[in-house]
Amino acid sequence: MVRFETRNADDLKTEFLGCAPKMKAETLKSIDEACQQLNELVAAIDRLGGLDNLQVSSWAAL
Alpha helices, DSSP H only, in 1-62?
9-19, 25-47
> Which residues are CB-neighbours of 6 under 8 A, at least 6 positions away?
12, 38, 56, 58
Is pLDDT above 80 for 3? no
Q: Which residues contact 38 (CB under 8 A, 6 or more apart)?
A: 6, 7, 9, 12, 56, 58
Tell whether the model's pLDDT for residue 62 goes beyond 80: no
Please report the pLDDT score of residue 13 as a whole number.
84
Q: How far is CA 34 from CA 21, 23, 49, in A?
A: 17, 15, 22
Q: How confident is the model at residue 15 (pLDDT cuts 50, 70, 90)?
A: confident
